[in-house]
Amino acid sequence: MERSNWKSNVGFLLASIGSAIGLGNVWRFSYMAHQYGGGAFLVPYIVALFVAGIPIMILEYGLGHKEKGSSPLSFAKVDPRFEWLGWWMPIVAMFGIMLYYSVIIGWCINYLFYSFSLGWGADPQSFFFKDFLQITDSVAILGGIRIPILFSTMLVWILCWLICFRDIRHGIEKASLIFMPILFALTLVIVIWTIFLEGAPDAIFNHYLHADWSKINLFATDPLARSEAGTVWAAAFGQIFFTLSLGFGIMITYASYLPKKTDIGKNAYITCIVNCTYSLVAGIAVFGIVGFMASNQGVPFEEAIKGGPQLAFVVYPKAISLLPQFNVLFGLLFFLMLVIAGLTSGVSLIEAFTCSITDKFDWPRQQVATAVCILGFLGSIIFTTRGGLYILDIADHFITNYGLVAGGLLECILIGWILKASVVRNHINRYGLGVAKVWEYFIKFSTPAILIYLLYLSISSDLAKNYSDYPTDQLILYGIGWMLICLTLALILAFRPWNPSKLKRRHRPEDDDLLV
């Protein structure tokens, strides 16, 4: 089956940036900046970008471009024993993250329609939890399916199917060329609108850009302060890893559609820097709107801001209702921005798995995409129940803190030590911006060490206390159990042999002595 290619490098970049820019760029980064020292948090964040984010992005782009395959095919070419890892990444992306991510995008669609009448009323927090989610009292109680959420989630899967049904050039690339300029324009309008609101400049300068350097001081004399600073640095590296869509198999898949003569290094730098710049700019809008709300209600900024989905579905609706004019328009623009950011990420999660299946089984793309989207919708139904938020929280915690970090760690070991990083670096340097030899040391030593430390922090925290005080049996069921199901599916798919012609290596003869 002939492999499709991107029509233009711009299309590839916009699709990759669209995959990286998601809902977390709006609410996760901003709240972390608030927690971890404001402007001071930018220091570990930028260090993490250049020490871990860009190196792994170069690795994934380089591997996908070199092997011309999805993550299972690329890893099977490097070492068949690691093919299961190539399956683990897109399976976790598709049947882990996308199942609940589609529901959150569905919430955004619901709120887009609520914006016409400011339907969340005077108490958005009560509306979100009691009226919209109708949340149960415990994770052990699923409750019934919330029909409005079910239908909006179905719409999300239909939209994703319409995009992924076609080949990469006529589906994701065309959608990205339309959606991404709209996303950037909407974000810019919201930022400009926000900074002129009363109380916004004060919040931006005194809470976002103001730096509390003690939060990141790894050399503080107080042991507790040093420990807390270590947590901040680890959080910065974790955020970089998650925000760039690393460890999903997405970037490997996207790069496999690139033509032979492509500047991989330059594309990696552009993708990473644009994504992180978007987070910084979106942070201005978040701090500005929260500052406006705090000023309007006469409450401290710390009391007004909330983390996670509450920022989008409680804080923002409250602030929108308080706007002196054009409330409806602001609400429409904000939630449309979230819907677009969610869709561009969602289609990439689906594409990573769809491409993996078509690579191995040579089944028609249209049939695979249809089946994947149907299965995805059915799997997401559990998150549309009244107790779905609890399950979403548990699954997200385990998948992001363990599944993706472990996948990224093994990926670095595979490329750094099994297929020596020199092979990928030499391939990249043939066609564009040179990647320095120090990149190999990042992949082999520093980045794996950081990922191991992140795993250590997560394990230590979860052993000391149950995550969010959930019952142990529910954590095992929806957290560990979910990951074990993904691992089992990865092993099953890896067990089936490939068509031998697909595993023919494409490296040059002079690379042979670099292989272990």
CA–centroid distance for 487 within its chain? 20
| Structure-token pair, residue 185 | 């324009």
Tell me if residue 1 falls in helix, strand or coil: coil
CA–centroid distance for 64 within its chain? 19
In a domain, 282, yes or no: yes
Number of domains in the chain: 1
In a domain, 412, yes or no: yes
Residues 6+ apart with CB under 8 A from 394: 139, 467, 468, 470, 474, 475, 478, 479
Say what percent of the chain tops pLDDT 90.
83
Report pLDDT for 486.
96
Q: Determine the length of the chain.
A: 516
Could you tell me the residue range of the domain that residue 291 belongs to?
A: 9-514
Tell me if residue 38 falls in helix, strand or coil: strand
The 10s digit of each residue's pLDDT in 241-272 is 889 989 999 999 999 999 989 999 999 999 99
Q: Which of 172-186, 195-209, 498-512 has the lowest mean pLDDT?
A: 498-512
In a domain, 1, yes or no: no
Q: Is the pLDDT of residue 371 over 70?
A: yes
The 10s digit of each residue's pLDDT in 137-179 is 999 999 999 999 999 999 999 999 999 999 999 999 999 999 9
Contact at 8 Å (CB) between 417 and 59? no
Residue in 452, 11, 48 with CA at minimum distance from that of residue 242: 48
pTM reported for the whole predicted model: 0.94
Number of Cβ atoms within 10 Å of the Cβ of 440 = 18
- The arithmetic mean of pLDDT across residues 358-362, rounded, is 95
In a domain, 3, yes or no: no
Confidence grade of residue 516 (pLDDT, cut at 50, 70, 90): very low
In a domain, 431, yes or no: yes
Query: What span, in angstroms and rounded, lies between the C-alpha atoms of 368 and 361?
Result: 10
Residue 494, CA distances (Å) to 225, 246, 361 in order = 46, 21, 12
Confidence grade of residue 41 (pLDDT, cut at 50, 70, 90): very high
Report pLDDT for 513.
40
Q: Is the pLDDT of residue 509 over 90?
A: no
Q: Is the pLDDT of residue 308 over 90?
A: no
- The arithmetic mean of pLDDT across residues 484-507, rounded, is 88
Report pLDDT for 506.
52
Q: Which of 94-103, 178-187, 439-448, 501-510 has the lowest mean pLDDT?
A: 501-510
Report pLDDT for 1.
60
In a domain, 73, yes or no: yes
In a domain, 295, yes or no: yes
Q: Which of 62-76, 228-242, 309-323, 434-448 has the lowest mean pLDDT?
A: 228-242
In a domain, 149, yes or no: yes
Domain of residue 257, CATH code: 1.20.1740.10
The 10s digit of each residue's pLDDT in 465-482 is 999 999 999 999 999 999
Question: Dihedrals φ, ψ of 175, to 5°?
Answer: -65, -40
Contact at 8 Å (CB) between 291 and 102? no
